[in-house]
């Protein structure tokens, strides 16, 4: 148990020195030898440098010699030397802790700090280096979630144009349904505004927009073509389906960034989706579902033409 605790202690204290890739600075208190063995096993053959900071003191010559000896040992020999006569379960736990440490170290070494880049760029001259620096607003899982957000934006634009086509169908002199025209034009404007807001959010998080990304489902719809010159009840039902698709897409994105993996776990993105999109979808789905139910009931009456006129008058006042 002491071995496990020490291994976890060394893992928690792992820090990155980005100026020299593969050089790990570890602050340990009482588990220096075991943590040192772990770091030796996790490092590649070309990056054996190891610094142990034990509350300001230095390691002993014997401990340093042990690290040097470990350079020529294989990972299998190392595990055997660390586990010794431990039971099978204990060996499995120790190996698991070591592998977790390796994964953490590999992931942590990929991170680049703005300060380190600036220091490196200004180190040899009084002018700033022309090499790129990592001083963007990116953090968390935005790189992983960016493609989803880009598709979501483009889907909003497509749905906005679909609503607009439905709106213009009822604005002509033949249909003359200003209430339905107002309903679908409002849906088009709201969907467009949501897309613009999401683009601003992507750039705020350090990402960029790609207007060419679409899901396979939407691409298939575009290839097959859609008819938006629909009767009133059919048009409202189609609008309801569109809103539900947008809502389900927001759920999918929320699930992606809420998974417990540091590569793409980003609660800030999930919070933004919850606050800015999901309540709007909920309210609009409820409204359109109510319109569909009411309109269907009214059309079952003795005078469907009068029912459509009265319902259109109602929509104009909304």
Contact 56, 94 (CB under 8 A): no
27 DSSP β-pair partners: 53
Work out whether strand 24-27 and strand 14-16 pair parallel, antiparallel, or are unpaired.
Answer: antiparallel
- Please give the DSSP secondary-structure letter assigned to residue 172: S
Whole-prediction pTM: 0.62
SS3 16: strand
Distance CA 102, CA 106 (A): 6
For 194-218, give one letter per residue: b (16+ CB within 10 A) or e: bbeebbebbeebebebeeebbbeeb
Q: Each residue's pLDDT tens digit in the chain (318 positions)?
A: 444 444 444 444 444 443 333 333 333 333 444 444 444 444 443 333 433 433 344 444 454 445 455 444 444 555 565 555 555 666 566 655 665 555 544 444 445 677 777 777 666 555 555 555 667 888 888 888 899 999 999 999 999 999 999 999 998 888 899 999 999 999 999 999 999 999 999 999 999 999 998 988 888 887 777 888 899 999 999 999 999 999 999 998 888 888 766 677 888 999 999 999 999 999 999 999 999 999 999 988 888 889 999 999 999 998
For 35-56, give one letter per residue: b (16+ CB within 10 A) or e: bbbbbbbbbeeeeeebebeeee
User: Which tokens hold the place of 87?
Assistant: 């039971």
């Amino acid at each position: 148990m002491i071995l496990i605790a020490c291994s976890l202690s060394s893992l928690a204290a792992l820090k990155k020195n980005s100026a020299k890739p593969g050089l790990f600075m570890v602050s340990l208190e009482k588990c220096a030898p075991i943590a040192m063995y772990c770091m030796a096993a996790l490092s590649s053959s070309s990056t054996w440098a190891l610094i142990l900071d034990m509350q300001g003191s230095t390691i002993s010559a014997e401990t340093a010699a042990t690290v040097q000896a470990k350079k020529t040992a294989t990972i299998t020999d190392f595990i055997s030397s660390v586990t010794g006569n431990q039971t099978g379960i204990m060996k499995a736990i120790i190996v698991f802790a070591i592998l977790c440490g390796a994964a953490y170290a590999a992931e942590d070494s990929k991170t680049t700090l703005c300060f380190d880049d600036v220091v490196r760029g200004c180190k040899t001259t009084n002018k700033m280096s022309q090499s790129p620096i990592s001083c963007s607003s990116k953090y968390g899982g935005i790189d992983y979630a960016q493609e989803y957000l880009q598709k979501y934006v483009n889907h909003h634009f497509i749905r906005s144009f679909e609503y607009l086509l439905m709106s213009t169908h009822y604005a002509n002199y033949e249909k003359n349904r200003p209430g339905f025209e107002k309903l679908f034009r409002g849906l088009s404007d709201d969907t467009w505004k949501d897309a613009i807001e999401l683009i601003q959010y992507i750039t705020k998080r350090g990402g960029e927009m790609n207007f060419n990304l679409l899901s396979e489902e939407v691409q298939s719809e575009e290839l097959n073509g859609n008819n938006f010159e629909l009767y009133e009840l059919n048009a409202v039902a189609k609008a309801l389906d569109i809103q539900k698709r947008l809502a389900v897409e927001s759920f999918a994105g929320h699930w992606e960034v809420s998974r417990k993996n540091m590569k793409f776990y980003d609660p800030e993105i999930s919070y933004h989706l919850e606050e800015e999109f999901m309540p709007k979808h909920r309210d609009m789905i409820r409204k359109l579902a109510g319109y569909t139910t009411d309109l269907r009931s009214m059309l079952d009456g003795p005078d469907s033409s009068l029912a459509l006129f009265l319902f259109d008058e109602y929509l104009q006042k909304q």
